Amino acid sequence: MDKDQAPTDTTDFGFAEIPKTEKAQRVRGVFDSVASRYDLMNDLMSGGLHRFWKSVLIAELAPKAGERLIDVAGGTGDIVFRAQTYAKGKLEAVVIDANAQMVAVGRDRAIDKGIDGLEWLAGDAERLPIPDRSADAVTISFGLRNVTDRLSALCEMRRVLKPGGRFFCLEFSKVSEPTLQALYDRYSFGVIPALGQATTGDRSSYQYLVESIRRFSDQPTLAALMEEAGFDRVSWKDMTKGVVALHRGWRL
- Over residues 162-205, the pLDDT tens digits come to 999 999 999 999 998 999 999 999 999 999 999 999 988 889 99
Query: What is the overall mean pLDDT for the chain?
Result: 92
- CA distances 56 to 42, 82, 250, Å, are 16, 11, 18
Residue type, 247: H
pLDDT at 157 over 50: yes
- Whether the per-residue pLDDT at 4 is higher than 50: the answer is no
Q: Which residue has the higher pLDDT, 29 or 68?
A: 68
Please tell me the predicted confidence (pLDDT) of residue 5.
Answer: 44
Average pLDDT of the segment spanning 143-159: 97
The answer to whether residue 70 scores a pLDDT higher than 90 is yes
Per CATH, the homologous superfamily of domain 3-250 is Vaccinia Virus protein VP39 (3.40.50.150)
Residue 37 pLDDT: 80
Domain extents in the chain: 3-250
Confidence band (pLDDT; 50, 70, 90) for 1? very low
Band of residue 39 on the pLDDT scale cut at 50, 70, 90: confident
pTM: 0.91
> In this structure, which amino acid lies at residue 228?
E
